[in-house]
Structure formats: structure tokens, C-alpha cells
Amino acid sequence: MRSMSATVSDKQALLIQDLECAANELLRETRRVLAGIGYEAQRQQLQQRLAEVLR
């Protein structure tokens, strides 16, 4: 579950058009989610899929 502070930060960054800050917030949240996946193979598959869809 995402924390409210991360959600607010994402929205604030986008509202002020600070794309660098917004990208950093999304990166931090993505890393947090990936770190929570206990199975290495699944974590790698999800990381690969995210890389594909974000290109």
C-alpha cells in the first residue's frame, strides 16, 4: 500500500510540472515495490516487464 506522503509528492510534482521530481518519486516507489517481492525470479520478471512498458 502506498503511503499518502508519496502520493501527495507525486501529485505536487506533476502539478508544478517538475517532471524530474515526479520521475524520482515514481522510481523510488517502484524500487520499494520490487524490493518487497520475495522471489528473485518473479522480481526480475516484473522488473523486465516494467522496463519494456516504460520504453
Instruction: List pLDDT tens digits, range 19-55.
Output: 888 888 889 999 999 999 999 999 999 999 999 998 8
Classified as helix, coil or strand, 16 is coil
Q: Residues with Cβ < 8 Å from 46, sequence gap 6 or more?
A: 34, 37
Cut 0.85: pTM above it: no
pLDDT at 6 over 60: no
